[in-house]
Amino acid sequence: MNTPPPRTVSRSVWFWLLLTLSLAAAAVGGWLISGQVSTMTATLLDGTATGVEVYVGQSLIVVGASVLGAGVLGILIAVALLAAQALVPAPVPPVVETRPTAEEPETVDEAVVGEPVVDGEAAVVEEPSVADTADGDDDQNGSSGSTATATKINVR
């Protein structure tokens, strides 16, 4: 059973859409406010201000402030989502237990491993001693690096 990796907030398309649109809204709101305040200031100081520039300018500043506030709020929500993800522990992957199949024995007796079975009983196999191998291998002539060669004193 393959489980997908846990999704992070920063890998979500919706997170990046929220962050991008919030930054764009903050930029547009700031541009509206800046443009209207500079126009109102210039016309009021020159004495050439009309009612449209003064009264409509104030309304556009309020609209710009609302758009700027929405953008800042979106940025704060994106930061809060990242902080909340850092506080939540990562999910632990499920532990999958493997069960032995019919071919595999469940337990293996260490005494039986490696011993041949004769008529249902383990046969006793004797290991040759070092003395037996040293005396019986005269044809190796010390070139094979075997136990017999390593134990011989006279090498031809």
Q: Please give the pLDDT value at position 16.
A: 93
pLDDT > 70? residue 93: yes
- Number of structural domains found in the chain: 1
In-domain check, residue 34: yes
Kindly provide the b/e burial profile for residues 76-95, where b requires at least 16 CB atoms within 10 angstroms of the residue's own CB: eebeebeeeeeeeeeeeeee
Q: Collapsing DSSP states into helix, strand and coil, what is residue 117?
A: strand
Asked whether 102 and 56 are in contact (CB, 8 A), the reply is no
- Closest to 114 measured CA to CA, from 124, 104, 106, 105: 124
Domain assignment present for residue 33? The answer is yes
Domain that holds residue 39: 9-87
Q: Is residue 67 part of a domain?
A: yes
Summary mean pLDDT of the chain = 77
Q: Is 124 inside a domain boundary?
A: no
Mean pLDDT of 75-89: 91
In a domain, 125, yes or no: no
More confident residue, 67 or 101: 67
User: What is the rounded distance in angstroms from the CA atom of residue 9 to the CA atom of residue 18?
Assistant: 11
For residue 85, how far is the Cα from the chain centroid? 14
Asked, for residue 137, whether it belongs to a domain, the answer is no
Of 130, 134, 110, the C-alpha closest to 122 is 110
